Amino acid sequence: MKLYEKFADDIERLIRQGVYRHGERLPSVRQASQQHRISITTVLHAYLLLESRGLLASRPQSGYFVNLERADGERQMQDLRASKPIAVSSTVDVSRLVLSTLRSIGSGDAVPLGSPYPDPVLFPFEKLNRYAYTAGRDKTLWSLTNALPPGDPRLLRQIARRHLENGMPVDPNEIIVTVGATEAINLCLQAVAKPGDVIAVESPTFYAMLHAIERMGMKAIEVSTHPEHGIDIGELAAIVKSQPIAACMVMPNFQNPLGFQMPDERKRELVEFLAAADIPVIENAVYNELYFGDAHPSSLKSYDRKGLVLHCSSFSKSLTATYRIGWALPGRYRDQVEKLKFLNTLATPLVPQLAIAEYLERDGYEHHLRRIRKAYAQQANLMRAMVSRFFPEGTRISSPAGGYVLWVELPAKVDAMHLYQLALERGITIGPGYMFSISGSYRNFIRLNYSSPWSRRIEEAVIEVGKLVASCAR
């Protein structure tokens, strides 16, 4: 193979992988010659070869541009984000399945019933972006020290005030700002357990918690969880008697995927039991603001008297997922979590912190939340009604008290992985139950996201999934 042919093949591979996208300008002949240490003639021949293959178009006085449109106007290939999802084998690797689902959601044209994220259409992007732009122009904020743990003082004050308004006074000095709730959970888990330790989790449970346990070399043990009352405290007590449990991880409010709100008395009972056993509990509270009832739900942290509740939350589900700002209230483990934060990621980006702090100070966060809660409650009712009507007999559905996900038990013959693949072929994503357990217990369960404003497209997708379920149940 001649050198110019090899260079042309390298460029073509990058184009087909989406590194160079349709309409983008390639480096000039002279630039490419310098970058790759080849002659100008070699580059020119390579570009001409790619032009003959229909992958480049030359523009006088401008250079060479990627051209992926055929004569009929259709694109020859998709970009990286629209690439084919990872194939999932019959032996389900949860991490790969989650990644495949997220990639398929990101393809742009898939109906995101399987998304773990809230639809951002109700989020105040323009205001937040204006505040971020203003903060980014302030040169006095460009020092790294302003972003070091525990976080920006303005944001820490606003988080403390928000907790107070919701009936849970907290010490602002306990708060540590993190890169989303995921980092908060990871740091808290690192603080209370070590590789090889056993962590008790709800079953089913949100897969991000299982990922954190797996990544740190720990072991998860699943505890039965009631769809209205939460984790089975009696079963947890029996497990604690039979083996050492380093920590417990739960989501007591609007649990993903079940959607329940754990009753206050059971929250108190759980905290008292764990306190007596001296077992820390990591509380995932990311959905606490998204309640459908009249009052903000209580947290496990409200009943903590020994500093054993490590409360984690974020603004990603209620204000903006783009900025990835979360926080932890780690109780007696506060200093250790702060140290781990510094060692792991050094700091949390300051501009997003300042933009959110400005919004909380000036723009009626509670009014924004009321609008989202009302929308989600209405969409939850619509989704439940559609599933009840169009899914076959034997289907059972959860009754979420908040959040934006619905847990669906399908007839016993239905395999959620097979259904997932069938739906994906039709441009619809769902969340297979396999993602929410390490034991494969939920093979005929799926999770549906109802955060997107109701539309004909959403409605048709739900009806189509119902038809697929019926065909699989025969």
Q: How does pLDDT run across 149-164, given as a tens digit for each residue?
A: 999 999 999 999 999 9
- Res. 87: pLDDT tops 70: no
Assess contact for 170 and 160: CB atoms under 8 A. yes
248 has which bridge partners? Answer: 200, 281
Strands 247-250 and 281-284: parallel
Predicted local distance difference test score (pLDDT) of residue 50: 93
Structure tokens of 272? 């008292």
Per-residue model confidence (pLDDT) at position 147: 85
Dist CA 241 CA 279 (whole Å): 12
The amino acid occupying position 293 is G
- pLDDT score at 20: 87
Predicted pLDDT at 21: 87
Q: CB 72: neighbour CB atoms within 10 A?
A: 5
Q: What CATH architecture applies to the domain 125-363?
A: 3-Layer(aba) Sandwich (3.40)
CB atoms within 10 A of CB 269: 14
For a pLDDT cut of 90, what percent of the chain falls above it?
A: 79
Q: Is 372 helix (H, G, I), strand (E, B) or coil?
A: helix
Query: Quick check: 92 pLDDT over 60?
Result: no
What one-letter code names the amino acid at 138?
Answer: D
Report the alpha-carbon distance of residue 102 to residue 112 in Å, rounded. 9
Given a contact cutoff of 8 angstroms between Cβ atoms, the answer to whether 56 and 383 are in contact is: no
Task: Fill in the DSSP letter of residue 322.
Answer: S
Top-confidence residue, 190 or 21: 190
Cβ–Cβ < 8 Å for 443, 434: yes
What are residue 315's phi and psi, to 5 degrees?
-95, 0
In the sheet that holds 405-409, the strands lie side by side as 396-397, 405-409, 445-449, 431-432
Please answer whether residues 231 and 278 qualify as being in contact, where contact means their C-beta atoms are separated by less than 8 angstroms: no
Confidence class for position 107, pLDDT limits 50, 70, 90? low
If you search the block for the tokens 């059972």, which residue do you land on?
Answer: 396
Alpha carbons 380 and 383: distance in angstroms, whole number: 5
pLDDT band at 273 (very low <50, low <70, confident <90, very high): very high
Residues of each domain in the chain carrying CATH 3.90.1150.10: 84-113+367-473
Contact 181, 160 (CB under 8 A): no
Distance CA 351, CA 20 (A): 30
CATH class of the domain whose range is 84-113+367-473: alpha beta
State the Cα–Cα distance between residues 175 and 149, nearest whole angstrom: 10
Task: Measure Cα distances from 190 to 185, 279, 314, 437, 474 in Å.
Answer: 9, 14, 19, 21, 47
Conformational region of residue 111, where left means phi above 0, alpha means psi within -120 to 50, and beta covers everything else: beta
CB 58, CB 51: distance < 8 Å:
yes
Question: What is residue 27's DSSP assignment?
Answer: P
* DSSP designation for 25: B
Beta carbons of 227 and 398 less than 8 angstroms apart? yes
Nearest to 302 by CA among 335, 276, 265, 340: 265
**Would residue 196 be called left, alpha or beta, if left means φ above 0 and alpha means ψ between -120 and 50 degrees?**
left
Decide if pLDDT at 372 tops 60. yes
What pairs with residue 57 in β-bridges?
65
pLDDT at 85: 40
- The DSSP element (H or E) to which 187 belongs, if any, is helix 180-192
| CATH of 3-66 given 1.10.10.10, 3.40.50.1000, 2.40.50.140, 1.20.1250.20 | 1.10.10.10
Q: β-strands 405-409, 431-432: how paired?
A: unpaired
Asked if residues 52 and 62 have their Cβ atoms less than 8 Å apart, the reply is no
CATH 3.40.640.10 domain range(s) in the chain: 125-363
Task: Give the CA count within 13 Å in the CB-facing half-sphere of 372.
Answer: 26
With cut-offs at 50, 70 and 90, classify the pLDDT of residue 74: low
Alpha-helix residue ranges (DSSP H) falling in 197-263: 207-215, 233-242
Instruction: Give 16 or 97, the one with higher predicted confidence.
Output: 16
Q: Which helix (H) or strand (E) holds 431?
A: strand 431-432
Average pLDDT over residues 31-37: 91
Beta strands in 154-241 (DSSP E): 176-179, 198-203, 219-226, 230-231
| Res 396 pLDDT > 90 | yes
Q: Residue 90's pLDDT is what?
A: 36
User: Which range in 101-105, 144-148, 248-252, 345-349 is most confidently predicted, on average pLDDT?
Assistant: 248-252
Least confident range of 67-81, 115-129, 149-163, 187-201 = 67-81
In the chain, residues under CATH classification 1.10.10.10 are: 3-66
Q: Tell me the backbone φ, ψ of residue 401, rounded to 5 degrees.
A: -95, 0
Q: Give the DSSP per-residue string, 132-150.
A: HHHHHT-GGG-SGGGGSTT
Q: Classify strands 56-59 and 63-66 as parallel, antiparallel or unpaired.
A: antiparallel
Residue bearing the bigger pLDDT, 140 or 219: 219
Residue 78 has pLDDT above 50, yes or no: no
CA distances from 443 to 109, 117, 176, 413, 420 (A): 27, 22, 38, 9, 11
* Predicted pLDDT of residue 81: 38
> Which of the listed ranges 116-130, 300-314, 350-364, 437-451 does the model predict with the highest average pLDDT?
300-314
Tell me the pLDDT of the chain averaged across its residues: 91
H or E element, residue 193: none
Per-residue confidence (pLDDT) for residue 279, from 0 to 100: 98
- Which of 331, 241, 234, 315 is CA-nearest to residue 282? 331
Model pLDDT, residue 86:
36
Whether residue 189 is predicted with pLDDT greater than 60 in this model: the reply is yes
**pLDDT value of residue 460:** 97
